[in-house]
């Protein structure tokens, strides 16, 4: 049976979600078949199959591999994490504060390690409040001023959970802003809109107040400006403990060429349809994925700690431990598909590991395909040239590869 | 000599090539470096100067062991001389490394010139990365000399080189893998050099 048929038979249909995993959590939402179809269509468009046929006609071994992945992200409901034995929880806390000048500061327990967390938090807060992104500042890493996190930065939780807490805080804060603006303009909060930090009456944009006016009314000149039932200051804290995890997914395809005389595998081209729910920032998602792909190809082909028979580590420097460079990786193409999470605010899912998951089996299946005429099945990684040459020779001599 | 540029493409990365010098690479004599192999295949020599005066050392006498040259402690390398190959000489350098720019597992370089009857009247094969020092493969060269460089003749020369080497082994390439790859890369270098000699491309 065609491997894609096996995949199709096993995919839950979009209306079967949330789909119980059998243990502790649900696959929250998915359009798995769409992701597969999108990748297959792109492979067709790129002409890989023709390239493969042409290469074969010239006696070269070109193969196409596929790998479908699901990334459980947004770890996770605190009580379930405890239930499965973890000694930590899974909530995330955010504080969103607007100062008397109407500028916004987000405090989070998350840490940015290069993923662009600050950028997406600015986007989320600006979007949630309706203020310019330049008016938002993010503070992390200061344990005196920042709130707690149930777990920290890992399990692809910074965007869905840290971000989810910010969204929920901004929802309440925005309501307060509108109530104060309504008081200032003698209007009803339902009739107001915020755009680029200006709160105006729907349909009559000339009737407006600024975020600075709101800050002034909440912190300084309260009398007859801040509604009487309203607490001074503009600050919301949100602790978000999700009811479920969020499952990102995707389908990757890889074009490789195997040199049968050397066992060297060359990565020629790469496509992944990736679905991490709402894409907050496509460039940052691409960046997370590109790093993941590269790391996965390192695991598939290069990175290894080698011990000798006496247990001595032979891999002692970065001349021995080979991390792929720009020269070893193919072009990366990401097709974004968006199936929002039904339970996470904003529909956000995580993407921190979606790049690495597929890579190793992807390389394996592409090599298998390149060598399908002699029947090689790659089962061990990294698949170094020496190991692959052994497999090729065994297969050519009619031995069964192990 | 476009083959020199081809050789240099394999040396590390752009930053390494910007900083490293040709004389430094030859004096360093790394067994897996490209320039020593190129000097051997192009039959060049180096001029060295010391307290006792100036002398020239042919490529064949320069590389005596791993990171070791025939330079005396008081000598420095001051210039490199490479004779221009005869018109119509085909040259090729091919290499196997785990990643681009890594020190080579095998470097094979070949120069071939054909006479009017399509027979080899000049063959030079140099090998790096395989043994403790780069070297010319003279036995295989003389096997091809005067012969028509057919596929079978090239295979035989490659087999002869592979049979004659005493390869080092490391985690990236065992002794036997290096020997196998010696055969493959000598074959590829010779085939391309012959192709280029026929096409009149150096
Ligand atoms: C990451 C990395 C990757 C590399 N990859 C490769 C590669 O793939 N292939 C490759 O061939 N090389 C590679 N190199 C080595 C690089 O090419 C070296 O820099 C070069 O071989 C040495 O040349 P240098 O001019 O830097 O010499 P130096 O480092 O200055 O000198 C090297 C040695 O030679 C001696 N020396 C230098 N010049 C002279 C002279 N004129 N006379 C006598 N002795 C002299 C020095 O005293 C020293 O002992 C790599 C280096 C790095 C750091």
* B99 touches A at CB < 8 Å: yes
Average pLDDT for B50-54: 95
Which ranges of chain A have pLDDT less than 70? 399-402
| Residues forming beta bridges with residue A47, ordered by sequence position | none
How far apart, in whole angstroms, are the C-alpha atoms of residue A388 and residue A368? Answer: 11
Q: How many CB atoms lie within 10 A of CB B170?
A: 14
Summarize pLDDT for A244-272 with one digit per residue, the tens. Answer: 999 999 999 999 999 999 999 999 999 99
Task: Report the residue of chain B nearest A388, measured CA to CA.
Answer: B177
Q: Are A388 and A381 in contact (CB under 8 A)?
A: no
Interface test with A, best of B172, B173, B184, B185 (most A CBs within 10 A): B172
Across all residues in chain B, what is the average pLDDT? 96
DSSP designation for A158: I
CA of A398 to the centre of ligand 1 (A): 46
Count of H-run helices and E-run strands, chain B: 8, 9
Task: Report the residue of chain B nearest A306, measured CA to CA.
Answer: B171
Q: How are beta strands A19-20 and B120-128 bridged, if at all?
A: unpaired
Which residues in B lie closer than 8 A to residue A328 (C-beta atoms)?
99-100
Q: Are B182 and B167 in contact (CB under 8 A)?
A: yes
Size of interface A-B (CB pairs under 8 A): 39
Q: Which of A262, A325, A328 is facing B181, going by the closest CB pair? A: A262
User: For position A401, what pLDDT does the model report?
Assistant: 47
The answer to whether residue B115 scores a pLDDT higher than 70 is yes
CA distance B107 to chain A (A): 14
Q: Tell me the domains of chain A and their CATH numbers.
A: 3-72+245-396 (3.30.365.10), 78-240 (3.30.365.10)
Task: Report the residue of chain B nearest A389, measured CA to CA.
Answer: B177
Q: Are A94 and A139 in contact (CB under 8 A)?
A: no
CA of B24 to the centre of ligand 1 (A): 5
User: For position A139, what pLDDT does the model report?
Assistant: 98
User: What residue has token string 């350098």?
Assistant: B93
How far apart, in whole angstroms, are the C-alpha atoms of residue A87 and residue A89? Answer: 7
| CB-CB under 8 Å, B103 with A319 | yes
CA distance B178 to chain A (A): 9
Q: Which residues contact A36 (CB under 8 A, 6 or more apart)?
A: A4, A7, A8, A11, A68, A251, A273
Kindly state if the Cβ of B98 falls inside 6 Å of ligand 1: no
The answer to whether residue B123 scores a pLDDT higher than 60 is yes
State pTM to two decimals: 0.93
Kindly state if the Cβ of B20 falls inside 6 Å of ligand 1: yes
CA distance A323 to chain B (A): 9
| CB-CB under 8 Å, A325 with B101 | yes
User: For position A398, what pLDDT does the model report?
Assistant: 81
DSSP designation for A16: G
How far apart, in whole angstroms, are the C-alpha atoms of residue B1 and residue B202? Answer: 7
Determine the CATH number of domain B2-81: 3.30.465.10
Q: Are A369 and A362 in contact (CB under 8 A)?
A: no
CA of A265 to the centre of ligand 1 (A): 30
Summarize pLDDT for B97-114 with one digit per residue, the tens. Answer: 999 999 899 999 999 999
Task: Report the residue of chain B nearest A315, measured CA to CA.
Answer: B171
User: For position A265, what pLDDT does the model report?
Assistant: 98
Residue ranges per domain, chain B?
2-81, 90-199
Kindly state if the Cβ of B27 falls inside 6 Å of ligand 1: yes
* Torsion angle of the four alpha carbons B119, B124, B130, B133, in this order, in degrees rounded to the nearest 10: 160
| CB-CB under 8 Å, A314 with B171 | yes
The order of strands in the sheet holding A61-73 is: A61-73, A246-258, A265-275, A331-337
CATH-assigned architecture of domain B90-199: 2-Layer Sandwich (3.30)
| CB-CB under 8 Å, B171 with A386 | no
Band of residue B61 on the pLDDT scale cut at 50, 70, 90? very high
Which residues in A lie closer than 8 A to residue B184 (C-beta atoms)?
261-262
CA of A258 to the centre of ligand 1 (A): 33
Q: Are A381 and A391 in contact (CB under 8 A)?
A: no
Interface confidence (ipTM) of the complex: 0.93
Q: Which residues contact A203 (CB under 8 A, 6 or more apart)?
A: none
How far apart, in whole angstroms, are the C-alpha atoms of residue B162 and residue A163? Answer: 61
Using alpha carbons, select from A76, A153, A168 the residue that is nearest to residue A109. A153
How far apart, in whole angstroms, are the C-alpha atoms of residue A363 and residue A117? Answer: 30
CA distance A287 to chain B (A): 23
Summarize pLDDT for B124-180 with one digit per residue, the tens. Answer: 999 999 999 999 999 999 999 999 999 999 999 999 999 999 999 999 999 999 999
């Amino acid at each position: 049976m065609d491997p894609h048929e096996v995949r199709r038979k096993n995919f839950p249909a979009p209306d079967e979600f949330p789909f119980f995993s059998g243990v502790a959590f649900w696959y929250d939402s998915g359009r798995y078949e769409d992701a597969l179809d999108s990748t297959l269509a792109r492979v067709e468009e790129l002409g890989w199959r023709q390239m493969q046929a042409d290469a074969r006609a010239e006696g070269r071994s070109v193969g196409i591999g596929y790998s479908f992945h699901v990334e459980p992200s947004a770890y996770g409901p605190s009580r379930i994490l405890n239930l499965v034995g973890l000694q930590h929880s899974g909530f995330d806390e955010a504080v969103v504060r607007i100062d008397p000048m109407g500028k916004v500061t987000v405090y989070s327990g998350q840490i940015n390690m290069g993923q662009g967390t600050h950028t997406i938090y600015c986007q989320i807060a600006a979007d949630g409040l309706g203020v310019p992104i330049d008016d938002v500042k993010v503070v992390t890493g200061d344990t005196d001023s920042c709130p707690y996190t149930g777990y920290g930065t890992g399990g692809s939780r910074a965007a869905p959970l840290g971000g989810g807490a910010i969204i929920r805080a901004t929802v309440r804060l925005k309501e307060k802003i509108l109530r104060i603006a309504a008081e200032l303009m003698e209007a009803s909060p339902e009739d107001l809109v915020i755009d680029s930090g200006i709160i105006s009456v729907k349909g009559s944009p000339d009737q407006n107040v600024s975020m600075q006016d709101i800050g002034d009314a909440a912190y300084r000149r309260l009398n007859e400006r801040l509604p009487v039932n309203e607490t001074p200051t503009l600050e919301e804290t949100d602790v978000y403990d999700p009811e479920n995890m969020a499952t990102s997914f995707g389908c990757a395809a890889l074009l490789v060429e195997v040199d049968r005389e050397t066992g060297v595998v060359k990565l020629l081209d790469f496509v992944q349809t990736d679905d991490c729910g709402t894409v907050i920032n496509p460039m940052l998602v691409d960046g997370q994925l590109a790093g993941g792909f590269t790391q996965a190809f390192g695991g598939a082909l290069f990175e290894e700690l080698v011990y000798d028979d006496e247990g001595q580590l032979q891999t002692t420097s970065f001349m021995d431990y080979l991390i792929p460079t720009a020269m070893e990786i193919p072009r990366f193409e990401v097709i974004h598909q968006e199936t929002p999470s039904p339970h996470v605010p904003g529909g956000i899912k995580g993407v921190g590991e979606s790049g690495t998951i597929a890579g190793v089996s992807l390389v394996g299946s592409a090599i298998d395909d390149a060598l399908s005429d002699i029947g090689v099945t790659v089962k061990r990684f990294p698949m170094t040239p020496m190991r692959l040459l052994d497999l090729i020779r065994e297969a050519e001599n009619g031995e069964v590869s192990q | 000599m476009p083959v020199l540029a081809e050789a240099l493409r394999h040396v590390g990365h752009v930053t390494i090539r910007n900083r490293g010098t040709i004389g430094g690479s030859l004096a360093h004599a790394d067994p897996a470096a490209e320039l020593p192999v190129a000097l051997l295949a192009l039959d060049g020599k180096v001029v060295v100067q010391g307290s006792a005066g100036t002398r020239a050392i042919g490529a064949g006498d320069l590389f005596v062991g791993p990171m070791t040259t025939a330079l005396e402690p008081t000598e420095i390398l001051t210039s490199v001389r490479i004779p221009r190959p005869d018109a119509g000489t085909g040259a090729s350098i091919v290499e196997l490394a785990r990643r681009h720019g890594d020190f080579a597992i095998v470097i094979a370089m070949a120069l071939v010139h054909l006479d009017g009857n399509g027979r080899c009247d000049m063959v030079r094969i140099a090998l790096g990365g395989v043994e403790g020092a780069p070297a010319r493969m003279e036995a295989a060269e003389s096997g091809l000399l005067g012969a028509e460089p057919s596929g079978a003749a090239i295979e035989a020369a490659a087999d002869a080189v592979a049979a004659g080497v005493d390869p080092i082994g490391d985690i990236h390439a065992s002794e036997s893998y290096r020997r196998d790859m010696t055969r493959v890369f000598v074959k590829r270098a010779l085939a391309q050099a012959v192709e280029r000699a026929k096409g009149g491309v150096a």
